[in-house]
Structures are given as structure tokens and as C-alpha cells.
Amino acid sequence: MAHDRGAAGDNHDHTAGANAKMLGWALALTSIYLVAEVVGGIVFNSLALLSDAAHMLTDVAALVIGLLAIKLGQKAADDKRTFGYRRYEILAAALNAVLLFFIAIYVFVEAVKRFSEPQEVQSWGMLIVAAIGLVVNLISMRLLTAAKEGSLNVKGAYLEVWADMIGSVGVIIGALTIRFTGWTYLDPIVAVAIGLWVLPRTWILLRDTTNILLEGVPGGLKLGEVRAAVAGLPGVAGLHDLHVWSMSNDDVNATLHVTLAAGADSDAVRRSVGDLLATRFDIEHSTVQVEAAGGACQDRSPEAGPFR
């Protein structure tokens, strides 16, 4: 079956281009503010600003990953990369998670030092930088809002920016409190709070990317349920060598061998297995090999229809 890329393909290209444009603007704004926040944290001696800058780094990484996913995802598979280039997105996300863990450790160690030896913090400078950050985050969220429902990558970037907005609000509250009370120890407290906010999400990111790199079963899928559903189809006497994995966060693949029941039609069984995997488990890319009851493989013939 031929796939018509006419209007649907053009629409996909236009949507990807629009998403890339929005991500590009958000990345430019966020990157500029990241540099400003690092400089402000050093100049105004605010650990909270530096901690928020570490979180802002995740925003930059998420936006870069989103852009890479769009650009590399459009690159066709070739003789060297038969699955294409979407795995680069996962490698970048894993690197981002590892980097964040090291940054969080630094922030926690520095916070402990400041609890024992409080340091003067320039609260007005801290407040101004955090307020600018809040505005930047709000603008970035506005840029990404329209496209977040149609793209998982854009949605991930949107959530990163949303979370960083919470960090900016925390720094603003800390700066105002320090200004009017003089409680400088609030600066490391806010820094630790931001770190604790980021770390669980960082762990989830590292866990999910590691699972994908290890060809693990994607989250939300249970291999036992897939096996039981296929085994219950008419014409299926058994199955083995079932593998389910993903190349990226939204690209699930499956391969399996199905043993035919006596008198079953191989093409009909193959199609029913593919339909089940697609409709019930959202596995759009599957390779189903059928075998006769005696164990002889029946290779897929060209006229049997396309793989799903």
C-alpha cells in the first residue's frame, strides 16, 4: 500500500516548521536570560539565583532537544542509520539529566556552607534578575502554548518553562523577604528548595531515557498484557520472541513470532495482530512473523500487504 504524502505531508512540514520557529524564539530568550542569571548570581552573591540558573539550564536543554527532534526527525533513514536519527534526542536528554545531578550536588554543598557561614546577599539585584526571569518565562510559555498539544517535544519544553516560572517566583519571594527582614539564610533555603523541585523530575528524565537506550518496554505498556491479547486472537496458537521498544519518547516498535492454529490463514492472522497492536496498544510499527504449527516459518510475501 502506498502512502500519500500530498496534503498531509505538506501540513506536517508546515507544522514542524511553525513549532521550530516558536522553539527558536523561546530558546533565544531563555539562553539570554540564563547568562544574565548566572552573572547576577555571581555579582549579587545569590545562591538562589545560581540554583534557578541551573534549572534554567534544563529549559535551554529541553528547547534544544525539541529543536533537534524536529530537525533530525525529518532526516530520512539511510544505509548507516536504518532507524533514522531520532535517538539523538534521547542521548541529549540523558546527558542533560546527568549534568543536572552534578549541578544539584554543587548547590547543596554550597548551601550547607552558607548555613554555617551566612553571607551578605544583595536582595534588590536578586529581585530584579528574578523578576526579569519571570517575564521571560511567561513570554516563552505564551510562545509554546499553541503548539504544545500537537507535539510531545514542545509540550515537554513547555512544562520545563512552566516549572522554571515557579523557581523564579520562589527567588522573588526570597529576595523580598531578605530585603525586609534581613534573613540572609533564606537564600540557601530557596536554593535547596529549587534543587529539590528539580531533582525528582531529573531522576524521571534519566530513568526514562535509560530505559529507552536499553531497549526497555516503554512506560505505560505491560508486556504480559500484550502477550495475552495477541494469544487470545482467533487463529493464534502461541507466540514467542516478543520484543517491544521505542526509538524515542513517542515511537513504539514491536516484533514477534506467532504460531498459527490449525487451518488458520497466515495473512489474516498477521493483519489482525497488527491491528490489535495499533488500536489497543498504540504500537504503529510492528513486524509479525507467522509460523505453521510444526514450527516452519512462513515469510511475508509482497502481496500480503504492508507491515504496520
What number is the average pLDDT over the span 238-252? Answer: 86
Distance CA 235, CA 39 (A): 67
Question: CATH classification of 6-213 is 1.20.1510.10, yes or no?
Answer: yes
pLDDT in tens, 83-107: 777 777 777 777 777 877 777 787 7
List, by residue range, all CATH 3.30.360.10 domains of the chain. 223-304
Residue 54 has a pLDDT of: 76
Domain covering 223-304 assigned CATH 3.30.360.10 in the classification: yes
Rounded average pLDDT over 268-279:
93
pLDDT mean over 69-82: 76
Residue 219 is classified by DSSP as T
Q: Is the pLDDT of residue 18 over 80?
A: no
pLDDT at 290: 92
Q: Which of 114, 101, 168 is nearest to 141 (CA)?
A: 168
* pLDDT > 90? residue 227: yes
Identify the pLDDT of residue 9: 44
Report H helices in the chain: 6-43, 47-73, 87-116, 123-145, 152-181, 186-213, 223-231, 266-281
pLDDT score of 63 more than 80: no
Q: pTM for this one?
A: 0.67
Query: What's the Cα-to-Cα distance from 97 to each of 77, 100, 163, 270, rounded to whole Å?
Result: 27, 5, 15, 40
What span, in angstroms and rounded, lies between the C-alpha atoms of 238 and 259? 5
pLDDT at 231: 94
| Sign of the C-alpha dihedral computed for residues 110, 91, 159 and 30 taken in this order | positive
- How many C-beta atoms lie closer than 10 Å to residue 31's C-beta? 16
Report the pLDDT averaged over residues 141-165.
69
The sheet with strand 251-260 has its strands ordered as 236-248, 251-260, 285-291, 297-298
Check pLDDT > 80 for residue 154.
no
69: DSSP letter: H
pLDDT at 304 over 60: no
Residues 83 and 298: their CA atoms lie apart, in Å, by 25
Whole-number pLDDT of residue 115: 75
DSSP state of 22: H
Share of the chain above pLDDT 90, in %: 18
β-pair type (251-260, 285-291): parallel
CATH 1.20.1510.10 intervals, the chain: 6-213
pLDDT of res. 119: 66
- Residue 93, Cβ density class (10 Å: 0-12 exposed, 13-18 middle, ≥19 buried): buried
pLDDT band at 166 (very low <50, low <70, confident <90, very high): confident
Q: What b/e readout covers 167-200, taking b as 16+ CB neighbours within 10 angstroms?
A: bbebbbebbbbbeeeeebebbbbbbbbbbebbee
Cα(214)–Cα(244) distance, rounded to whole angstroms? 11
**What's the pLDDT score for residue 234?**
93
Q: Which of 126, 142, 134, 161 is nearest to 46 (CA)?
A: 126
- Identify the pLDDT of residue 240: 92
